[in-house]
Amino acid sequence: MRQIGTLSRSVHYISDIKYKELKLQKGQFTFLTRICENPGINFIDLSNMLKVDKATTTKAVQKLVEASYIEKKRDEQDKRGYNLNPTNKALEIYNLIIEEENKNINICFKNFTEDDKKSINKLITKMSKNIENEWIKIKK
């Protein structure tokens, strides 16, 4: 687990350095990509998807709104909630972020066979499902 944490922090560190020129602050690229991939998502679903609390989501989204990457609109059905949509500015850099993500994936999987990649994906997916069940219990 420590190695997975180290891997995650390393990838985020590299990404944060590269995205500074796009005026994205630490970790905001994860929020931005999920909103681009799920236009109209609300705060609760975004928080659940990223496994973070609502306060973290609120702060990240507010900064993305201020940077003109995200538009926040009142939900038609639930007047207390908001839906989040990417702006054209966000959509323009989305492909750059995905390219960087794919580059990092290729670096991580350097010298791995296809079977290695499939095995790791299967095992990490299984681990994620296990911990997600615990996360749901704890969250309630």
**Each residue's pLDDT tens digit, 69-84:** 999 999 888 878 899 9
Q: 9 exposed, middle or buried (CB, 10 Å; 0-12, 13-18, 19+)?
A: exposed
Residue 139: the pLDDT is 77
Question: Going edge to edge, which strands form the sheet with 41-42?
Answer: 41-42, 82-86, 70-74
pLDDT tier for residue 67 given thresholds of 50, 70 and 90:
very high
pLDDT at position 127 over 80? yes
pLDDT tier for residue 121 given thresholds of 50, 70 and 90:
very high
pLDDT tier for residue 16 given thresholds of 50, 70 and 90:
confident
CB distance 109 to 121 below 8 Å = no
**Each residue's pLDDT tens digit, 91-104:** 999 999 999 999 99
CA angle 127, 129, 132 (to 5 degrees): 105
Residue 81: the pLDDT is 86
Q: Which CATH architecture has domain 2-108?
A: Orthogonal Bundle (1.10)
pTM as predicted: 0.84
The domain locations on the chain are 2-108
**Each residue's pLDDT tens digit, 17-63:** 888 888 888 889 999 999 999 999 999 999 999 999 899 999 999 99
pLDDT tier for residue 140 given thresholds of 50, 70 and 90:
confident
Task: Return d(Cα 96, Cα 29) in angstroms, integer.
Answer: 11
